Amino acid sequence: GAGVSQSPSNKVTEKGKDVELRCDPISGHTALYWYRQSLGQGLEFLIYFQGNSAPDKSGLPSDRFSAERTGGSVSTLTIQRTQQEDSAVYLCASSLGGDINEQFFGPGTRLTVL
């Protein structure tokens, strides 16, 4: 079946502009996570969704970052007034939840802020 998909695959933007990143999880997966991977670094947790609600937003770096999920499916991560330090690969993952823990990752969106 289809895996987790993300769009766009690459995004180049100018400092100060807003960007929206999209994640389509695997159908039926109730849990959705966003992570950020800076060049040569590990993955940094940003936010977790269970259904449409986000019980854990503790990883969002600043109030310029926000995310939503609608219909228990698609999620968008929005970064307002982008800064150069926002440049990274943004990865989305989904899992069935409950006792099924494996997180399936999408291919990521590479964001470059000039």
Cβ density class 35-67: b for 16+ within 10 Å, e for less: bbeeeeeeeeebbbbeeeebeeeeebeeeebeb
Among 8, 16, 28, 55, binds another protein (CB under 8 A): 55
Question: Among residues 14 and 39, whose Cβ is nearest to another protein?
Answer: 39
Q: How far apart are CB 52 and another protein at their closest, in Å? A: 15
Residues that bind another protein (CB under 8 A): 4, 30-31, 33, 35, 40-45, 48, 50, 55-56, 59, 91, 95-108
